Copies of this chain bind each other. A is one copy, B any other.
Amino acid sequence: MLYLVGLGLSDETDITVKGLEVVKRASRVYLEAYTSILLVNQEVLESYYGRSIMIADREMVESNSDEILRDADKEDVAFCVVGDPFGATTHTDLVLRARELKIPVSTVPNASIMSGIGACGLQLYNFGQTVSMVFFTDTWKPASFYDRIKENRSIGLHTLVLVDIKVKEQSLENMARGRLIYEPPRYMTVGQCASQMLEIEEEKQEGVYTKDSLAIGAARVGGKTEKFVSGTLEELCNQDEALGPPLHSLVLLGKRTHELEHDFAREFAVDKEKWDRIWKADYAQS
């Protein structure tokens, strides 16, 4: 059996009891470690689970999945994923490949950022599609997120923006020379995300949002040091210190809101009076 085991959002104790039983008895244990990370490292997990873990990087999952699936028709293989196993496309692919090989698959769900973000006080019912934000370079500024946000806002919905992480990336030079030297990991912050959003609005000028649009920055959702900061996009450009270490996410508010959402998120506001003023003018339902 191939088990897809969700690890949840934060540390080694976020695994479910069911998931822990699977990990303890599986023949091999993989950890998918390129679409998200926990707040603890591999050694902590190995010690807690009492198992050694093989790191499955993008190359292995996307090009060498048969190694992960080896003998999974006869024994149990645990493929562990931060959050919930069905957050990312890649894992759908793995399941389809398992089906081709007649390997049975079982899923152990867990918290995902897509539901855990509810802890910021915005109602999950009021969220539209989720978007991703990648690190811009001088020459590459993919802006498809902008159109998706436009769609969500056209019907009043909030947008969860998941931000980029770069692990095990090679510099162009090292890649060209075939040197297996990797850059230090990089995790996008709420500040970087907010300023890239404003950069694209500046360029497109479609008024999908402005520097005064309300948003919530989230850090380490579901962890003991979980932190939210709410304010305008402009304010959130400068709140990385308050938010602290990765992982970050950002929610851009839609205009279909509930009073409870105002009250709950006001607690986290950079400037509570400004929050109230903009909310009353632009977000309050009549």
B-contacting residues of A (Cβ < 8 Å)? 6, 8-9, 11-18, 20-21, 83-87, 89, 92-93, 95-96, 99, 106-112, 114-116, 118-119, 121, 123-132, 151-152, 154-155, 157, 221-222, 224, 226, 258, 260-261, 263-264, 267
Contacts and interface: CB of A to CB of B under 8 A. Distances in A.
**Chain A contact residues: helix, strand, loop or mixed:** mixed
A118 B85 CA distance: 8
Contacts of A96: 260, 263-264
8 contacts: A11-B18, A13-B16, A14-B16, A15-B17, A107-B119, A107-B226, A114-B115, A129-B155
Contacts of A12: 17
A87 B107 contact: no
B95 A264 contact: yes
A109 B111 contact: yes
Given A8-B109, A9-B109, 14 more contacts: A8-B16, A13-B18, A16-B110, A84-B115, A86-B116, A92-B264, A107-B119, A107-B222, A109-B116, A109-B119, A109-B221, A125-B131, A152-B155, A154-B155
Nearest to A147: B155
Nearest to A6: B111
